[in-house]
Every structure is written in structure tokens, then in C-alpha cells.
């Protein structure tokens, strides 16, 4: 009975909370930018948080409550480009001002890495071009562009700032900086493409 109540409360909370932030592989966004050209910025006018390439510390059994991300099986190896990164769209057009980030599936941005706390930090957007980061507890470590952030202190963020959460590195992009990164990555991709 207690287990059923716990599941019901989790589902009710999930239904009443804003939807999880959309995440897209950077390689997919590069291809969309190449095909959409100027329309890409109209479709994606938002800020982005990019989970940069690096070691992934997979959570152990029971560390993730409702869902789990698993690395690809061997037969799927060729499907993903090596070093592809995940980009989270920070869409505030619906009035959302806070994005919770952590390992738990109840967060807006889920980082399923064992070095990230279940509820690690919150990103605040008090106005469209202003972002702040704040840890969610005293034991949560956060470094912004190499500087340690004290618990309980909201820190202003700038485009291009890196956030080190556990061993995960995230980069914050405004639309212009993100567009430049996609263009740069597209040039690298096109340079590697076989000539016809």
C-alpha cells in the first residue's frame, strides 16, 4: 500500500510539473542548421546548455528512481558520431524561470552521472538574458569557469561560462554563441566529408 501511494505521488507530481527540457544531440542540430539556414534561428531562438564530451560515470542500481540512460550496445556503435554531445534547450517562452538540474528524473534537466547529486543545482532566468546558478545543498559542488561557488549564493552566468557539476562539464550558450559553435562544428564536419 505504501509503495502504491509513493508511485501515485510521484506520478501526480510529474503531471503537475513543467515538462522536462528538450535535449538534442549536437550532430542533429548541426544538420538542422545546415538545412534550415536562417530559419534555424527562428526555430531555436533560445539559450542552450551543452553537456560536453567527457567521461560518463554511470549510476549504479537504485540510484535513478524512475528512468535510466544506458550506453549504446555494441551493435549500435556506428549510429552515434564519436564524441557527440547533448544540448539542452532552455526555452523560457512559457514563462518558466527556474530549471532544476540533477540525476533524479524529477529534474527539468537530467544528468544521469553518478558524480551529480539527485538535486544538484538550479538555473534561474529572472529576465530573458540574465541567468544565475545556485547549488541545491551544502554538499553539492559547482565550479563556474573554474571558480568554486559557495552554497546559497546565486552566481550570475555569462554566455560561454562552463559549469562543472560533479565531473560533468556543461557550457551555457546564448543564441548567437550557440549559432557560432554550430557553424564551427559544421565546418569541421564538412572538411571531413569525402569529396564527390
Tens-place pLDDT, residues 96-123 = 999 999 999 999 999 988 899 999 999 9
- Taking Cα atoms as reference points, which of 99, 121, 101 lies closest to residue 111? 101
- Per-residue pLDDT, 83: 67
Q: What percent of the chain stands above pLDDT 70?
A: 77
- Per-residue pLDDT, 54: 80
- Per-residue pLDDT, 162: 97
- Whether the per-residue pLDDT at 143 is higher than 60: the answer is yes
- Top pLDDT among 114 and 19 is at 114
Q: Give the predicted TM-score (pTM) of the model.
A: 0.78
> Which of 44-53, 59-68, 77-86, 144-153 tops mean pLDDT?
44-53
- Please answer whether residues 158 and 130 qualify as being in contact, where contact means their C-beta atoms are separated by less than 8 angstroms: no
Q: In the block, which residue shows the cell 549504479?
A: 60
- Per-residue pLDDT, 7: 57
**Binning pLDDT at 50, 70 and 90, where does residue 64 land?**
very low
Residues 60-64: contacts with CB under 8 Å, at least 24 apart: 60/114, 63/103, 63/114, 64/103, 64/104, 64/105, 64/112
3-state DSSP call for residue 187?
helix
d(CA 65, CA 148): 29
Average pLDDT over the chain reads 82
Within 10 angstroms of residue 155's Cβ, the number of other Cβ atoms is 17
- Per-residue pLDDT, 82: 56
- Whether the per-residue pLDDT at 44 is higher than 50: the answer is yes
Q: What's the rounded mean pLDDT across residues 168-179?
A: 96
Kindly give, in sequence order, each residue whose CB lies less than 8 Å from that of residue 47, ignoring residues fewer than 6 positions away. 90, 92, 125, 131, 159, 172, 173, 174, 175, 178
Q: What is the DSSP letter of 78?
A: G
**Binning pLDDT at 50, 70 and 90, where does residue 74 land?**
very low
121 to 30, 101, 165, 175: CA distances (angstroms): 28, 5, 8, 22
Q: What's the rounded mean pLDDT across residues 173-181?
A: 96
- Per-residue pLDDT, 16: 54
- Per-residue pLDDT, 9: 60
- Top pLDDT among 78 and 98 is at 98
DSSP bridge partners of 168: 165
Kindly give, in sequence order, each residue whose CB lies less than 8 Å from that of residue 168, ignoring residues fewer than 6 positions away. 51, 54, 111, 113, 115, 116
3-state DSSP call for residue 84?
coil
Q: Considering all CA atoms of the chain, what is the largest pairwise distance in Å, rounded to the nearest integer?
A: 65
Amino acid at each position: 500500500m505504501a509503495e502504491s501511494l509513493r508511485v501515485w505521488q510521484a506520478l501526480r507530481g510529474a503531471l503537475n510539473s513543467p515538462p522536462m527540457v528538450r535535449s538534442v544531440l549536437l550532430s542533429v542540430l548541426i544538420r538542422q542548421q545546415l538545412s534550415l539556414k536562417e530559419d534555424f534561428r527562428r526555430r531555436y531562438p533560445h539559450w542552450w546548455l551543452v553537456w560536453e564530451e567527457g567521461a560518463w560515470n554511470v549510476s549504479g542500481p537504485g540510484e535513478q528512481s524512475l528512468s535510466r540512460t544506458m550506453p549504446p550496445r555494441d551493435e549500435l556503435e556506428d549510429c552515434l558520431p564519436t564524441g557527440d554531445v547533448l544540448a539542452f534547450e532552455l526555452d523560457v517562452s512559457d514563462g518558466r524561470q527556474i530549471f532544476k538540474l540533477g540525476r533524479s528524473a524529477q529534474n527539468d534537466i537530467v544528468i544521469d552521472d553518478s558524480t551529480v547529486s539527485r538535486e544538484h543545482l538550479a538555473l534561474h532566468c529572472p529576465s530573458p538574458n540574465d541567468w544565475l546558478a545556485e547549488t541545491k545543498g551544502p554538499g553539492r559542488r559547482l565550479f563556474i569557469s573554474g571558480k568554486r561557488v559557495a552554497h546559497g549564493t546565486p552566481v550570475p552566468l555569462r554566455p560561454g561560462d562552463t559549469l562543472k557539476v560533479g565531473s560533468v562539464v556543461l557550457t551555457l550558450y546564448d543564441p548567437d554563441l550557440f549559432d557560432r559553435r554550430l557553424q564551427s562544428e559544421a565546418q569541421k564536419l564538412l572538411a571531413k566529408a569525402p569529396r564527390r
